[in-house]
Amino acid sequence: MIIIFVGLSTRYSKNNIDFIYAGRKLTALPLMLTLVTTWYGAISSVGQEISYNGISTWLYFSLTYYIAAFIYSEFISDRIIDKNISSITIGILNHMGKKAAIVSIPVVLLYTSPAPYLIMLANIINNVIFESNHYSLSLFLGLLLSVIYCFKGGFKSIVNTDKYQFLFMFAGFVTLTVYIIFFYDYGFKRLAETYYSNTELFNIPGKQGYMYILAWGFIAILTFIDPNFHQRTFSSKNKVEIKKAIRMSILCWFIFDMIILFCGLYTIGTNSTTPYISLAIDIYSGYPLLYGLFIVSILSIIMSTIDSLTFVSALIIGKDLKSIFNKKFNQKDIKWGIVFTILISLIIIQFFENNRIIEIWFVFGSYMVSALLVPFFCIISGIKVKHPLFLILAPLLVTLYFDIIKIDWIISMYPGLVLSFILMIFLKKN
């Protein structure tokens, strides 16, 4: 109720810069709050991964992203502003041409789709409210509650709601952690039992091995071309503010990661699509207010990501696509972009199962890495290439090919990424 009220009470503005970039006046604190909340939508999958792969989950879901975010802050954010790259698609359009930009559109849209987060949110609403009997209704409610205010206030609504969602997300998990330590498992007896019965989950690199961790390292590098990061960089008051915001965000991410890793170790063995909620039900038995606070925390984490991803996808459809064809855009185009984003996400959901839905990010992230990472470095480094369309399309098709034939010892993004580097060398203009 609070989030909906705050989102809908945001003042409407006819100015496109206000609607898309909050007037380009954001300082470090609101930028930090929106960055932290937006990056944490995968909370249910984090719990699933900890149950599946143990403490090594922190390496590929956290450490790799800290490193990528720091590099972006210190070495890339300046260039994003200087080169006027409001999104990766616009960067490709300005530096590599219309055809290359058109090919990049579906790749970016798949990567920014809120589909996996909608699955998580629908699972939670369905389990908590409808006792697993009305998934479609849960999906509809999740969509409505997460994006309705975007139609009115645009990015300003998202920033305003993220301030409260940041408080909710920390409040729920900090309370859960304190309760586990002082009331539920004083002396860490249960944690010790978990360690001795699942020793492999407390070892590095875990079940998946170092190649899997390395692959996620490449996925983390997508931070460099993430439309959410570009948009927030463009929305900052100046270069100093975005750098401060990202540094503060990394600290908050680390603190929160330590909390959810600790709590995640207690979800081992739950075999649930919503492991943290299953844990809260067990721990807070007889304490409905504490359980309610935790549900609010989980909802805040997921909804804050859904609205941001939906909005940046809408920008790609309503703003970037029209820019490619030299047409002016307005707020109505972006609002229609929100509608199309929802429809695309609903289609994507039909092709993936509810468990271990990080596969959605891994699959779509692999195409984003192989097709657009090297072209992005060419853009920010001022490297001119011949046949930029081929530079994007060939690695994309190679990744698709390896995805289809499925060789166990080859992760599909690697052949595409290697080809992309080779093509850059041979297509580079002297």
Neighbours of 194 (CB within 10 A): 20
pLDDT for 348 beyond 90: no
Q: Is 268 helix (H, G, I), strand (E, B) or coil?
A: coil
Whether residue 332 is predicted with pLDDT greater than 80 in this model: the reply is yes
Give the global pTM.
Answer: 0.90
Q: First CA to last CA across the chain, in angstroms?
A: 59
Predicted confidence at residue 200, as pLDDT, reads: 83
Mean pLDDT of 366-390: 91
pLDDT-derived band at 376 (thresholds 50, 70, 90) equals: very high
Over 70: is that where the pLDDT of 354 sits? no
Are 227 and 24 in contact by the 8 Å Cβ rule? The answer is no
Q: Higher confidence at residue 305 or residue 206?
A: 305
pLDDT above 90: residue 356: no
Q: For the domain 2-427, what is the CATH superfamily, name and number?
A: Sodium/glucose cotransporter (1.20.1730.10)
The distance from CA 87 to its chain's CA centroid, rounded to whole angstroms, is 15
Q: What is the pLDDT of residues 28-53, one digit of tens each?
A: 999 999 999 998 877 877 887 888 88
Burial of 301 (0-12, 13-18, 19+ CB in 10 A): buried
List helix spans (H) across 1-97. Answer: 2-9, 16-21, 28-38, 43-53, 57-58, 64-71, 77-82, 88-96
Backbone angles phi and psi of 386, in degrees to 5: -85, 145
Structural tokens at position 52: 């599946």
**What tens digit of pLDDT does each residue of 218-254 get?**
788 888 988 899 999 999 999 999 999 999 999 999 9
Contact criterion met (CB below 8 Å) for 245 and 32: yes
Chain mean pLDDT for the chain: 89
CB 172 within 8 A of CB 293: yes
Most confident among 12-21, 103-112, 200-209, 400-409 (mean pLDDT):
103-112
Q: Among candidates 85, 95, 122, 92, which has minimal Cα distance to 107?
A: 92
Question: CA–CA separation, 109 vs 233, rounded Å?
Answer: 19
Residue 357 — very low, low, confident or very high, per pLDDT cuts 50/70/90? Answer: low
Domain boundaries along the sequence of the chain: 2-427
Proportion of the chain above pLDDT 70, given as a percent? 98
CB within 8 Å of 193: residues ≥ 6 apart: none
62-87 pLDDT, tens digit per residue, is 899 999 999 999 999 999 988 888 88
